[in-house]
Amino acid sequence: MTDSSVAAPPAPAANSPAWPILQFPHLSRVQLPPMHRVRLSHPKAEPIASVEAAVAGALRSSRRLQALPAGSEVAVAVGSRGISGIVPVVRATIQFLRSRRLEPFIVPAMGSHGGATAEGQAALLASLGITHEQTGAPVRATMDTVVYGRTPEGIDCHFDAHAAGAAGIVVINRVKSHTTFDRPNESGLVKMVAVGLGKEQGARNVHRLGPAGLSQVLPALARIALEKAPIAVGIALVEDAAKQLVAIEGVEPQAFFQADARLLEFAKSLLARLPFETIDALVVEMIGKDISGAGMDHAVTGRADIRGVPNPTRLLVSKIAVLGVSPRSHGNGLGIGLADFTTVDVVRGLDLRTIYMNSLTSTLCEKARIPIALPTEKDAVSAAVATSWAAGTDAARVCFIHSTLHLDEILVSPALLQAHADDARLADAGPPLPIEFSPGGTLLTRCR
């Protein structure tokens, strides 16, 4: 029987699962610790003063762009990640190309994202503000590819057909850590060439060998594409923990690997991280593809959960509860499988087709699994604390975060704060206050 205080979740859409509402009365008796609201400081860098000037400088250095005759078509490759200032960067790129009497157009460089359809990828770019009206250039989306060659492992190098037909290509991407494991080249220009512009088949080819595909096949495919495709220049972006652009560099194609490795070290030095070693219960208010490729950053949660790849050893989190999926993810709750608990509303809002397509392409299926789904957010939080192996409420090391990308303000229990009382990164701790919920069990005490 459904508790009258719990609102029934909305009827599921065509690709969303129905889910039963199961009551566990003992969860209402779980004692939750009070929480301190804490400001968490992170490394900083000087933000870019003028995006337009930085982009123009990056493109002005390209010898291949300078060599293109007037009227040449230039493809501008843009991905699906939520990059800070991506619209101004793309707009400035288009303006520069037009000032050189070139004819730019935009291509989605996002592998199998957007449901692995041209329409879905164009719509995903539009949701980021990448449209003809906003940037000044048309979007040409296709899933068709050309094949440039084959790796030593016998894997074909696919490449976006529209981009391949252009006289030049500008590759725009953020350099950052990836969501699985450390390696010299993670997310950046190299990955966009091999996976993003490889479209669905390129993404599948990279991931078909699991972790070995990322460390071996991806670089091999990128080298083939860099040799055969008309890539003129890359624009490498770096953000700090506050999502400010702190680096915009023009990179010649032959330097993609070296620039990615160098800027990756810089990007990692600016990452937001939790300063804890052990958390009994971590409550994540929001996951999403715009937050992390895996929904949640493994360096924050301590969980990669990929067979054959060890989890980070610095952080142990006993239980994780996820309370929402970002609107920009459009139901793609990939990464929900890393949680132990969530709510029925979250599950009923998932677009399983998109999640499953992502998993079938990446071959990493664990992140698509659905955890224990409870009627309310209060139930999910209570279950995470109750099953966390903490000795009691006073000893429970509990942490609430908005997302693994937004860690400026967090909530921590007294036991967790006391264990890190001397850490200078934790500041402005307010008094411990009770965790509040609405009568229907919705969390009211949030990080933002």
What is the per-residue pLDDT for 367? Answer: 86
Identify the residue with better confidence: 306 or 385: 385
What is the per-residue pLDDT for 273? Answer: 87
- One-letter amino acid for residue 297 of the chain: D
Percentage of the chain with pLDDT > 90? 62
What is the per-residue pLDDT for 8? Answer: 45
For 202-232, the pLDDT digits (tens) are 888 776 666 665 667 888 999 999 999 999 9
- Give the start-to-end residue ranges of the domains of the chain: 25-42+273-427, 51-268
Work out the average pLDDT over 380-409.
93
What is the per-residue pLDDT for 373? Answer: 97
Mean pLDDT of the chain: 89
What is the per-residue pLDDT for 217? Answer: 81
Identify the residue with better confidence: 372 or 270: 372
Percentage of the chain with pLDDT > 70? 91
**Per-residue pLDDT at 11 exceeds 50:** no
Least confident of 7-11, 88-92, 350-354, 442-446: 7-11
Q: Determine the Cα–Cα distance for residues 256 and 189; give it in Å rounded to an integer.
A: 6
If we measure between CA atoms, which residue out of 169, 194, 193, 139 comes closest to residue 76?
Answer: 169
Q: What is the pTM of this model?
A: 0.76
What is the per-residue pLDDT for 3? Answer: 43
Identify the residue with better confidence: 177 or 287: 287
Q: Which residues are registered as beta bridge partners of 316?
A: 278
Work out the average pLDDT over 82-108.
94
What is the per-residue pLDDT for 374? Answer: 98
Q: Which fold would CATH assign to domain 51-268?
A: Rossmann fold (3.40.50)
For 326-351, the pLDDT digits (tens) are 988 888 888 999 999 999 999 999 99
Kindly report the CA angle at 63 between 60 and 69, in degrees rounded to 5? 95
* Distance, C-alpha 316 to centroid of its chain: 21
Work out the average pLDDT over 26-46.
92
* Two tokens, residue 5: 């205080």
What φ, ψ does residue 104 adopt, rounded to 5°?
Answer: -85, 150
Residue 277 near residue 314, CB atoms below 8 Å: yes
What is the per-residue pLDDT for 307? Answer: 66
Using alpha carbons, list the distances in angstroms from residue 247 to 80, 84, 176: 19, 12, 12
For residue 363, name the pLDDT band (cuts at 50, 70, 90).
Answer: confident
CB atoms within 10 A of CB 213: 23
* Two tokens, residue 257: 């690997």
**Per-residue pLDDT at 371 exceeds 80:** yes
Sheet holding 245-251, edge to edge: 103-108, 73-78, 168-174, 231-239, 245-251
Work out the average pLDDT over 115-144.
93
**Per-residue pLDDT at 183 exceeds 60:** no
Work out the average pLDDT over 431-439.
95
For 50-60, the pLDDT digits (tens) are 999 999 999 99
**Per-residue pLDDT at 182 exceeds 80:** no
Q: Determine the Cα–Cα distance for residues 175 and 414; give it in Å rounded to an integer.
A: 37
**Per-residue pLDDT at 258 exceeds 80:** yes
User: 3-state secondary structure string, the chain?
Assistant: CCCCCCCCCCCCCCCCCCCCCCCCHHHHHCCCCCEEEEEECCCCCCCCCCHHHHHHHHHHCCHHHHHCCCCCEEEEEECCCCCCCHHHHHHHHHHHHHHCCCEEEEEECCCCCHHHCHHHHHHHHHHCCCCHHHHCCCECCCCCEEEEEECCCCCEEEEEHHHHCCCEEEEEEECECCCCCCCCCCECHHHHHHHHCCHHHHHHHHHCCCHHHHHHHHHHHHHHHHHHCCEEEEEEEEECCCCCEEEEEEECHHHHHHHHHHHHHHHHCCCCCCCCCEEEEEEECCECCCCCCCCCCHHHHCCCCECCECCCCCCEEEEEEECCECHHHCCCCCCHHHCCEEEHHHHHCCCHHHHHHHHHHHCCCHHHCCCEEECCHHHHHHHHHHCCCCCCHHHCCEEEECCCCCCCEEEECHHHHHHCCCCCCEECCCCCECCCECCCCCECCCCC
What is the per-residue pLDDT for 9? Answer: 47
Residue 350 near residue 336, CB atoms below 8 Å: yes
